[in-house]
Amino acid sequence: MNEKTVLVTGATGYIGRRLTHRLLETSAFKVRLLVRNKNKVQVSIADQVDIREGSTFDKESLAAALAGIDTAFYLIHSMGSTEDYQNLDRVSAENFRDGCIEAGVGRIIYLGGLGVRESASKHLLSRIETGEILSAKPEQIETIWLRAGVIIGSGSSSFEIIRNLCQKLPAMITPRWVRSQTQAIGIEDVLSYLQSSVELAHRGNLVVDIGGEKLSFQQMMQQAAEVMGLKRYLFPVPLLSPRLSSYWLILFTPIPYKLAAALVEGLKSETVLQNDHAARFYPEIQPLRFKQTVADAIHELEQNQVISRWCDSTGQQACDIKDFDNPAGAIFRDIRIVPFENGERQEEVFQAACAVGGPNGWFKYNYLWRLRGVIDKIMGGYGLNRGRRSNRELRVGDALDFWKVVDIKPGKRLLLYAQMKVPGEAWLEFDVQPDQLVQTAHFLPRGVLGRLYWYMVIPLHHFVFNNLAKTVVSSSTKSG
Ligand SMILES: NC(=O)c1ccc[n+]([C@@H]2O[C@H](COP(=O)([O-])OP(=O)(O)OC[C@H]3O[C@@H](n4cnc5c(N)ncnc54)[C@H](OP(=O)(O)O)[C@@H]3O)[C@@H](O)[C@H]2O)c1
């Protein structure tokens, strides 16, 4: 029986959420999570883990989270924060390394990006610097630094790009970089490397490049299309700049500009393994073929088993939704009250409210919601493309079209915070009472523009919100 206690940081992010599940399902380690907002931890695992709220920028909370830890996973980045995310990444890594040394942690396991410094994008450079900082005091703490390029898994940004492009475009004129070689890896293999690193019998620092077969982005697209039963044609031309490619991606995929630009930068030059440490130190792990990783990701999507998505976190300096679960300060409100007159039940109405958006749509005025999504996309927002993680359930932190779930009180309250481009802060609240639904759109305007915006959309709100509240209530009896 292994009594090791491991700390998973970034436990509400894409990799961290899945790693937590993996460790709970297949290891005997005691698992502690460091999270910035404990409400984001999925309810189903909350009683199996030791949850500590804190941040790497708050040394006190960090020290408390690291006390008694044998091995600590570092799965954090600040990209998506200010332009100066490199500096934030630096400070975060230094605090973490020094905190680990102070607490007597035996090993740090870090997952960074694949690629060499000479051709690295700004994002990759920051990932390299993070690895160097974490590994800088080997006499005091050892670091296993795994480096992965494109990760394929349900909800991963790279997979979402490939899937959306394949599904939406039969033929594509593409930039030349689609021919650069890369070594993508499936998320399950990434988790295996992370997990095996806890007990790897190796002393001192180690850098391990992980990846599957060598393929170009063009080949990945074609193979992914085959898995989906489609035939796709790519015509690389020298004309398309990385900037244009990024615009192209935001148009046809859910990925916002910043992330698209980082991915394109990353793919522009060859990103292949620089060492054979994965095969030497982890011979038991045989990375899956690319096609298999795509098939697995699609299967998870179809089964509604997506544990995490690229949009679970936004990598800002503070948790993006922590302070938004109470719209009490809003100035404008659109309130719709629908009494239960046809035997509707509170729990079922709540379930119906939780089913809105994504492929389920927004009822009668879905086209107006879609139009709002297009406007948002044009303005550089997410639009409606993020959809929802699962058709069946919502959890705090889930993206839901251009909303974020910021509070759930089962059977009673669902609160969504608007991440669309809007001159102010906006929320949509479903307060399900025993005999009625109170649906409120809250708005805290920013300046005169915010106020003008609110008055301009009042006529649209009349139709859209009225219909939404009524249909949530009426559909509750049908869905049950
Ligand atoms: N995903 C990929 O495709 C991929 C590919 C190659 C390498 N990697 C590497 O894998 C690592 C994890 O990436 P990811 O995709 O899982 O990131 P992610 O989804 O953006 O998650 C980042 C996590 O870090 C947390 N966080 C951010 N700043 C923090 C701070 N100061 N203190 C405590 N927690 C903080 C976030 O919390 P909130 O939820 O509160 O925001 C979130 O849980 C990164 O090093 C990345 O370079 C990822």
Q: What is the pLDDT of residues 191-246, one digit of tens each?
A: 999 999 999 999 999 999 999 999 998 999 999 999 999 988 888 887 767 777 77
Give the distance (Å) from ligand 1 centre to CA of residue 90: 14
Report CA(144)–ligand 1 centroid distance (Å): 17
Domain coordinates of the chain in residue numbers? 5-302, 322-479
d(CA 136, CA 143): 9
Protein residues with CB under 6 Å of any ligand 1 atom: 9-16, 34, 36-37, 40, 55-57, 75-78, 92, 111-113, 127, 148, 151, 156-158, 312-315, 319
Determine the distance separating the centroid of ligand 1 and the alpha carbon of 148, expressed in angstroms: 14
Compute the chain's Rg from CA coordinates: 23
- Give the Cβ contact number of residue 322 at 10 Å: 15
Supply the residue whose CA is at minimum distance from atom 25 of ligand 1: 10
Atom of ligand 1 nearest to the CA of 310: 19
**CA distance linking residue 74 with residue 93, whole number of Å:** 8
* Residue whose CB lies within 8 A of the most ligand 1 atoms, among 14, 92, 162, 182, for a mutation test: 14
Beta-bridged to residue 146, according to DSSP, are: 111, 208
Q: For the whole prediction, is pTM greater than 0.85?
A: yes
3-state secondary structure of 142: strand
**What mean pLDDT is reported for the chain?**
92
Distance from Cα 423 to the centre of ligand 1, integer Å: 28
- Ligand 1 atom with the smallest distance to the CA of 110 is 45
- Residue 450: which residues within 8 A CB-CB, separation 6 or more? 423, 424, 443, 444
Spacing, Cα 218 to ligand 1 middle (Å): 27
Query: Which whole-number Å values give the CA distances from 469 to 65, 67, 416, in the listed order?
Result: 43, 48, 14
pLDDT tens digits, one per residue of 268-282: 788 999 999 999 999
Phi, psi of 107 (to 5 degrees): -150, 140
At 412-444, the pLDDT tens digits run 999 999 999 999 999 999 999 999 999 999 999
What the block records as the tokens of 385 is: 């493309």
- pLDDT grade, residue 478 (50/70/90)? confident
Structural contact between residues 415 and 427, judged by C-beta atoms closer than 8 angstroms: yes
Does position 182 have pLDDT exceeding 90, yes or no? yes
Quick one: which atom of ligand 1 is closest to the CA of 127? 47
Q: How many residues does this entry show for the chain?
A: 480
Say how far apart CA 39 and CA 321 lie, in whole Å: 10
Given a contact cutoff of 8 angstroms between Cβ atoms, the answer to whether 216 and 180 are in contact is: yes
Q: d(Cα 185, Cα 151) in Å, to the nearest integer?
A: 5
How many A from CA of 58 to the centre of ligand 1?
17
The CA 30 to ligand 1 mean position distance, Å, reads 21
- What's the CA-to-centroid distance between 410 and ligand 1, angstroms? 28
Helix (H) or strand (E) holding 404: strand 403-409
Give me the phi and psi of 243, to 5 degrees please. Answer: -65, -45
Tell me the per-residue pLDDT of 119-146, one tens digit each, with 9 for 90 and over. Answer: 888 889 999 999 999 999 999 999 999 9
Structure tokens at 98: 């020094």
> So what's the pLDDT on residue 241?
73
- Predicted confidence at residue 315, as pLDDT, reads 63
pLDDT band at 445 (very low <50, low <70, confident <90, very high): very high
Backbone φ and ψ for 370, nearest 5 degrees, come out as -65, -40
In ligand 1, which atom is closest to the CA atom of 397? Answer: 39
If phi > 0 it is left, if psi is from -120 to 50 it is alpha, else beta; for residue 447 that is left
| The pLDDT value given to residue 258 | 76
Mutate to test the pocket of ligand 1, among 15, 197, 306 (most ligand atoms within 8 A of CB): 15
**By C-alpha distance, which of 350, 324, 363 is closest to 431?**
350
Residue 60 has pLDDT above 60, yes or no: yes
Rounded distance from Cα 195 to ligand 1 centre (Å) = 17
What is the distance between the alpha carbons of residues 133 and 97, in angstroms, rounded to a whole number?
8
Q: Whose CA is nearest to atom 21 of ligand 1?
A: 13
Q: Which atom of ligand 1 is nearest to the CA of 79?
A: 20
Amino acid letter, residue 144: I
Task: Note whether 97 and 137 are within 8 A (CB).
Answer: yes
User: Mind listing the pLDDT tens digit for each residue in 92-103?
Assistant: 999 999 999 999
Out of 76, 122, 183, 207, mutate this one to test ligand 1's pocket (max ligand atoms within 8 Å of CB): namely: 76
At the topology level, CATH places domain 5-302 in: Rossmann fold (3.40.50)
Picking from 330, 323, 332, 356, the residue whose alpha carbon sits closest to that of residue 430 is 356
**CA atoms of 420 and 127, how far apart (whole Å):** 29
Q: Angle, to 10 degrees, between the axis of helix 447-479 and the axis of helix 366-378?
A: 140
- Residues 189 and 211: their CA atoms lie apart, in Å, by 9
Cα(443)–Cα(10) distance, integer angstroms = 31
| Separation of CA 307 and ligand 1 centre (Å) | 15
Token pair for 422: 């809007």
Neighbouring CB atoms inside 10 A of 309's CB total 26
> What is the assigned CATH class of domain 322-479?
alpha beta
Which of 20, 74, 85, 111 to probe ligand 1 with, by most ligand atoms within 8 A of CB?
111
SS3 397: coil
d(CA 145, CA 200): 12
Which candidate, 199, 94, 186, places its Cα nearest to that of 148? 186
Yes or no: say if 96 and 9 are a contact pair by the CB < 8 Å rule: yes
Percentage of residues of the chain with pLDDT beyond 70: 97
Considering only CA atoms, which of 414, 429, 437 is closest in space to residue 342? Answer: 437
Q: In a mutational test of the pocket of ligand 1, which residue from 22, 49, 77 has the highest number of ligand atoms less than 8 Å from its CB?
A: 77
CB atoms within 10 A of CB 468: 24
Phi–psi pair at 332, nearest 5 degrees: -105, 145
218 near 166, Cβ under 8 Å?
no
Please name the amino acid found at residue 90: R
**333-353: average pLDDT:** 96
**HEC readout, 355-384:** CCCHHHCCHHHHHHHHHHHHHHHHCCCCCC
* Cα 259 to ligand 1 centroid, rounded to whole Å: 13
How far is 342 from 473, CA to CA, in rounded Å?
9
